[in-house]
Chains A and B, each alone.
Chain A
């Protein structure tokens, strides 16, 4: 039995090396080569402003200040080297308390009742890098962003609509607004208005 195990292990080692070349080197290289057909998607879907990369269409960013649409709360402050959720339990008193604090903060910032604040505005996402906010949260922020940037509310609301991603095939997942692309559009509208 033992000598059999040794012999089998040696065969196993050789097979492992062969399979490492096949599935660990050739396969990812082939996917990389084929992936080049999809432009910069394989490189993380970068968003450019005046030719400079300012982020990825897929990764959320931290925004602060009235002139920006704000992203969702993040358990890792949008650090891409430490993607993580809060991992706080569904009854966790600390989580319930911070949701209460965020409700008060968002309601005060946007000048609305706490009951009007959508859930995504007061909860941290699964990755800490959620690129989207709900349509309701974007609409809630639109008046503040419009005023801070000296833009018409209608203009900003149009931008929100332009940057809303609908459900896949009309029914997959949930609609959301891409915060980085929306803020890029707002910044462009501000410059366009100068």
Chain B
């Protein structure tokens, strides 16, 4: 079997698995968020939390629930890290430094999972399992909840409400994320992923001392991928053999990363009562994902760049059991979603491979994007696309029966400006500081790429890194923490306000003059708008980093 055939068959199997899950999983999620009955365990959760599950919330109330819940989560998660020495199973580790705990708490609550710490040398088991991993579930459930609220905005007519955040959050966790994670975690243990509560020190065959690191890894690994979180239990993330021991577990990880954002397009179509719309959105995602997958795979497999050419193949930073094909597939999937887990060093990817990872994030995490965040992100771009189309033909733009007027476009414009402003201003400030030169792992164009990658990853809530950069200074901890915080919650608030303004409207019937948004013409239009927006925003910065490197 050649590497090429093996790589292509792997992609084919992945696509087949995603296709098999698409309808049942997507429709299941639609039922979860439209059902009017509560499970017994959910009623218990509501009673213990003191929330009324049958109350409806408008956009402002829904948004303040999201923000309030997330602020509390950040404070609690900081507390757990700062005081971890008092917790059981602390592995005799001291409390996490203050700004690192701030950065990490924001990182996990915003579903970014940027890691300025090294898991195995910084955190005890309780902090990982009852602190970080809890946010893996909840931040993912928040993302889906916001997406569902936006879909309701399109579905509802002359309504002041978008649903109930607490119900959406609880159902997403209990009915979707928890059961799938449990099954996946057991498959991971079967594949060799560790799930224990102690470290063991032993003598190696050659007589060295080595620690067999334990920990509740499998349980964290499952939700890390399913929730598009990406924060590794260990520093090496999914390259670590205890997180990702084989080609089987690797395929399962890529599947878990992609399955929810992909199936959510079916959920969208089902909830809208317009399944072709879901397929069209998936088509847009698929086209853009394929572009970066082809570019990255070509570059990695053919070993572009001086180091790969010297070694004979681009194996620096890659594991033998995965090789170039499965490493490129993982790198593209983790950056096209907001996951940020890595099974190879992104810093050592070939120039085009690393550039593809960076470009995926710059697209705004929408191909297919983070759990929930991908759907609301691409719907915002769809609003922009019908607006542009409306300008071209001189008609009032409509999307899914809702008129897009100045109010909606204000929210959309602010949304599309938020992350680019954070990325470019943040990277610009960082580059202008003298101290940043020392923080870079490389000089020249690649050093710039490391800084640009860091702010792109943070503001888009991805969490992967060109890891050569040292980000433990107070400047980076605070700057990247703020980029994650604003990059997550400002767009969410804008999306909820947009959703509220749509729900208030009546539904306009489609006429002969309505642009059909479920047909290839619109798919092409949306792909074009996304590429033009991203290109105009980021081309100058890309030219200084990865493009310059690729042309050397």
Could you tell me the distance in whole angstroms from the C-beta of A80 to the nearest C-beta in chain B? 5
Q: Kindly report which residue of chain B lies nearest to residue A55, judged by CB atoms.
A: B204
**Complex Cα spacing A57 to B194, Å:** 12
The answer to whether A59 touches B210 (Cβ under 8 A) is yes
Against B, the Cβ 8 Å flags (1 = close, 0 = not) of A103-114 are 100000000000
Q: How far is the CA of A9 from the CA of B339 in the complex (A)?
A: 27
Contact B316 A95 (CB under 8 A): yes
Stretch at the interface among A139-147, A155-163, A166-174: A166-174
Please name all residues of chain B whose beta carbon is closer than 8 Å to the beta carbon of A14 when the two chains form the complex: 48-50
Q: Is B19 an interface residue (CB 8 A)?
A: no
- In contact, A176 and B442 (Cβ under 8 angstroms): no
Given contacts A11-B51, A12-B69, A173-B250, are A27 and B181 in contact (CB under 8 A)? yes
In contact, B204 and A84 (Cβ under 8 angstroms):
no
* In the complex, B505 has a CB within 8 A of chain A: no
Could you show 7 A-B contacts with beta carbons less than 8 Å apart?
A10-B50, A12-B72, A15-B45, A31-B219, A42-B195, A80-B213, A100-B310
A80 touches B313 (CB 8 A): no
* B154 cross-chain contacts in A, Cβ below 8 A: none
Q: Answer yes or no: B435 CB below 8 A from chain A CBs.
A: no
The bracket for how many chain B residues form the interface is 35 or more
Q: 5 additional contacts, CB 8 Å, given A85-B317, A88-B442?
A: A16-B72, A19-B134, A32-B197, A92-B446, A172-B13
B1 and A170 form a contact (CB under 8 A): yes
Contacts known (A19-B134, A165-B321); A92 close to B442, Cβ less than 8 A: yes
Q: Is the beta-carbon distance between B343 and A126 smaller than 8 angstroms?
A: yes
Beyond A18-B48, A173-B326, is A31–B134 a contact (Cβ under 8 Å)? no
A 1-36 binary contact with B (CB < 8 Å = 1; else 0): 100111011111111101110111101101110110
CB within 8 A of A87: which of B222, B248, B466? B466
User: Which residues from chain B contact A11 at a C-beta distance below 8 Å?
Assistant: 49-51, 65, 68-69, 166
Contact across chains for A127 and B239 when beta carbons are under 8 A apart? yes
A149 / chain B contacts, CB cutoff of 8 Å: none
Residue from B303, B313, B345 within 8 A of A126 (CB atoms):
B345
A54 neighbours in B (Cβ, 8 Å):
202-205
Compute how far the CA of A125 lies from the CA of B316 in the bound complex, rounded to whole angstroms. 6
| Min distance, Cβ B176 to any Cβ of chain A, angstroms | 12
Pairs of residues from A and B, 4 with the lowest C-beta to C-beta distance, nearest first: A173-B247, A126-B239, A12-B69, A24-B130
Q: How far is the CA of A52 from the CA of B314 in the complex (A)?
A: 37
Give A183 to B207 CA distance when docked, in angstroms: 13
Known: A15-B170, A91-B306, A172-B326. A49 touches B205 (CB 8 A): yes
Binary per-residue interface labels of chain B (308-327) against chain A in the complex, 1 for a CB within 8 Å, 0 otherwise: 10111111111111110011
CA distance A36 to B203 in the complex (A): 25
Question: B236 contacts A58, CB within 8 Å?
Answer: no
Contacts of A52 in B (CB 8 A): 202-203
A9 touches B316 (CB 8 A): no
Q: Report A-chain residues with C-beta under 8 Å of the C-beta of B547.
A: none
| Alpha-carbon separation in the docked complex, A172 to B304 (Å) | 23
Q: Is A150 an interface residue (CB 8 A)?
A: no
The docked-state distance in angstroms from the alpha carbon of A35 to that of B134 is 20
Does B506 interact with chain A (Cβ within 8 Å)?
no
Contact mask for chain B residues 51-68; partner A; CB cutoff 8 A; 1 contact, 0 none: 100000000110011011
A130 and B71 alpha carbons, distance in the complex (Å): 39
Residue in A80, A83, A89, A124 whose CB lies within 8 Å of B446: A89
> Does the CB pair A129–B240 fall under 8 Å?
yes
Indicate if B415 sits at the interface (CB-CB under 8 A). no
Q: How far is the CA of A140 from the CA of B214 in the complex (A)?
A: 34
CB distance from B111 to the nearest CB of A (A): 15
User: Closest B-chain residue to A165, C-beta based?
Assistant: B321
Q: Is the CB of A9 within 8 A of B71?
A: yes
Is A81 within 8 A of B219, CB to CB? no
CA distance in complex: A134, B320 (Å): 7
**A64 to B208 alpha-carbon distance, docked (Å):** 11
B242 at the A interface (CB under 8 A):
yes
Contact A174 B241 (CB under 8 A): no
Known A-B contacts A83-B235, A91-B549; the reply to A45 vs B192 at CB < 8 A is yes
B118 is an interface residue with CB less than 8 A from chain A:
yes
Q: Quick one: closest B residue to A83, CB to CB? A: B236
Shortest distance between the CB of B166 and any CB in chain A (Å): 6
Contact of B120 among A13, A35, A81 (CB under 8 A): A81
CA distance A18 to B428 in the complex (A): 42
A58 near B192 (CB under 8 angstroms)? yes
Partner of B319, one of A28, A130, A165, A172: A130
Which of A86, A99, A165 touches B345 (beta carbons < 8 Å)? A86
Contact residue among A57, A88, A131 (Cβ-Cβ distance under 8 Å from B348): A88
Q: Verify A173–B68 contact, CB threshold 8 A.
A: no
Q: B231 CB to closest chain A CB, in angstroms? A: 14
**Shortest distance between the CB of B513 and any CB in chain A (Å):** 40
Judged by a CB distance under 8 angstroms, whether B305 is at the interface is: yes
Residues A31 and B241 in contact in the complex (CB < 8 Å), given A15-B51, A172-B326: no
Measured CB to CB, the closest approach of chain B to A23, in angstroms, equals: 5
A72 and B320: CB pair below 8 A?
A: yes
Q: How far is the CA of A122 from the CA of B326 in the complex (A)?
A: 20
Question: Does A171 contact B1, Cβ atoms closer than 8 Å?
Answer: yes
Please tell me if B123 contacts chain A, counting CB pairs below 8 Å: no
